[in-house]
């Protein structure tokens, strides 16, 4: 309880000293202090965007654009066997006859 009592005494003495010093200020200085105070209060009321939100916003936007472009409707998706087809073309020289006669096999499949 003594800390609260000491703090209140300290606050009272500071308040008294400040009130006394304000009474001694000339009118020109008071006017200037009021103008500075009003400008500070007006600036404090303005909403400021935190600086870290700007790069975060750009990063989120870039991520969303990438996701949208990746999953855009109308884009043909890779078939499950596309990887196998690529492996077959790249690594199997023996089975190139299949791809040389591809039209025949397509015709055969459509007429079967």
Measured between alpha carbons, how far is 93 from 99 in angstroms, rounded to an integer?
A: 11
**DSSP-assigned letter for residue 49:** -
Residues 75-89 have pLDDT tens digits of 565 566 666 776 666
Cα-based torsion angle of the residue sequence 69, 70, 76, 77 in order, rounded to the nearest 10 degrees:
-170
CB 67 within 8 A of CB 74: no
Sorted by where each begins, the domain ranges of the chain are 1-71, 79-112
Distance in Å from the first CA to the final CA of the chain: 99
**Tokens at 22, concatenated:** 């304000």
Residue 97 phi, psi (nearest 5): -60, -35
Q: pLDDT truncated to tens, each residue of the chain (112 aa)?
A: 466 667 888 999 999 988 888 778 888 888 898 899 898 888 877 776 677 788 888 888 998 888 888 877 665 655 666 667 766 666 666 666 666 777 887 888 888 7
Rg for the chain, CA atoms, rounded = 40
Q: Element (H or E) spanning 112, and its range?
A: none
């Amino acid at each position: 309880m003594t800390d609260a009592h000491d703090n209140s005494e300290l606050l009272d003495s500071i308040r008294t000293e400040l009130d006394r010093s304000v009474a001694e200020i000339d009118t020109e200085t008071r006017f200037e202090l009021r103008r500075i105070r009003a400008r500070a209060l007006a600036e404090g009321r303005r909403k400021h965007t935190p600086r870290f939100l700007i790069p975060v916003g750009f990063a989120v936007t870039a991520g969303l654009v990438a996701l949208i472009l990746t999953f855009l409707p109308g884009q043909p998706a890779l078939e499950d066997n596309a990887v196998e087809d690529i492996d077959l073309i790249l690594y199997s020289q023996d089975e190139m006859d299949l791809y040389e006669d591809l039209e025949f096999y397509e015709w055969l499949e459509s007429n079967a």
